[in-house]
Amino acid sequence: MRTKYRQIIALVLAALFPALLLAAEPEAKTARQVVEVFQGHLLEAMKSGKRIGYAGRYEKLFNPVAQSHDLEKIARIIVGREWEKLTKDQQHTFVDVLIRLSVSSYAHNFRDYNGESFVFESLEETGKGGVVVRSLFKIPNDKDVKFDYMLKQNGDTWRIINIIANGVSDLALRRTEYTSVLQREGFDALIKRLNEKIDNHSKM
């Protein structure tokens, strides 16, 4: 009798095991989910923004930004051909500064909450294997702001590579500015100036 129970338990476990494994490994998010999860974190940080201050918002947003944005790809696109001219250390430094700058900009600028919300509008596939998730940032008593998120797949996961707010592309702006500083003043000057921006965000 006992052996029979053992066999049943073993069979049940064997049947459940793959399911348990699958459950342990979360399903890869869709592009829309990646954007919406990130927007949710941003709104959460805004809601507790006044209470937790800049440092709290920075901490709250670091992982959500790092996990939803493909900052290495963003870094490559921003510096373009210059990327190959950088040493491995310089590339790591640049990506690291870019993450910290992105998080600090969010923490600095999205500091409190006045009833704002994000609303999904549509999703478009692009010819180059990417998607654009279109959404609206709703602000009470003000005009909606269009936020278009461009995403590319990195392995199994979708990652944000650009955000276009009312038609103005963050990536295009950065590319123009950063490559100009790189060409005019060099890599160290660019990193120094980006670090200064991060410092200023924490102080203002």
Partner 1 sequence: MHRTYKKNFTDGRLLLAIALAGLVFLGECAAENVKNQPIARSKADPYERVNRKIFQFNDTVDEYLAEPIANAYKAITPQFVRTGIFNFYNNLETANTIVNAFLQGKPRQGLDNTGRLLVNSTLGLAGFVDVAKYLNLEHNDEDFDQTLALWGLPSGPYLVLPFLGPTTVRGIPGILFDTAANPTSYVGIPVQLLYLLNARANAQGALQFIDEAALDRYLFTRESFLQWRQNLASDGQFASLDYFEEFAEADTANAAGFPGSVETFNTASNAFTGATAAFDKTALHFRTVLAKLSGSQKQ
Q: Which residues make up the interface to partner 1 (CB under 8 A)?
A: 46, 73, 76-84, 101-102, 105-106, 108-112, 114, 116, 124, 126-128, 130, 132, 134, 137, 139, 142-143, 145-148, 150, 161-173, 175-181, 183-184, 190, 193-194, 197, 200-201, 204
In the bound complex, what is the minimum distance in angstroms from residue 120's beta carbon to partner 1? 14
Contacts of 191 by beta carbon, 8 Å cutoff, 6+ apart: 93, 94, 97
Q: How far is the CB of 89 from partner 1 (least distance, A)?
A: 20
Provide the strand spans (E) within 64-180: 117-125, 130-138, 145-154, 157-165, 168-169
List, in sequence order, every residue forming a beta bridge with 148; answer none if it has no partner.
134, 164
Contact status, residue 95 vs residue 71, Cβ threshold 8 Å? yes
Q: At what angle do helices 88-109 and 71-79 cross, to 10 degrees?
A: 110
Question: Rounded to the nearest whole angstrom, what is the least distance from the CB of residue 101 to partner 1 in the complex?
Answer: 8
Q: How far is the CB of 21 from partner 1 (least distance, A)?
A: 36
CB closer to partner 1 out of 29 and 73: 73
Largest CA distance in the chain: 83
Q: Which is nearer to partner 1, 34 or 161 (CB)?
A: 161
Indicate the pairing of strand 145-154 with strand 168-169.
unpaired
Closest approach of partner 1 to the CB of residue 111, in Å = 6
Contact call for residues 50 and 114 (beta carbons, < 8 A): no
Cβ proximity to partner 1: between 26 and 115 the closer is: 115
Q: Give SS3 for 106.
A: helix
Note whether 34 and 163 are within 8 A (CB): no
Provide the pairing of β-strand 157-165 with 168-169: antiparallel
Our CB check for partner 1 shows the closer of 37 and 101 to be 101
CA nearest 52: which of 65, 39, 40, 61?
Answer: 61
Closer to partner 1 by CB, 96 or 112: give it. 112
* Cβ proximity to partner 1, 51 vs 81, nearer residue: 81
The least CB distance from residue 114 to partner 1, in Å, is 7
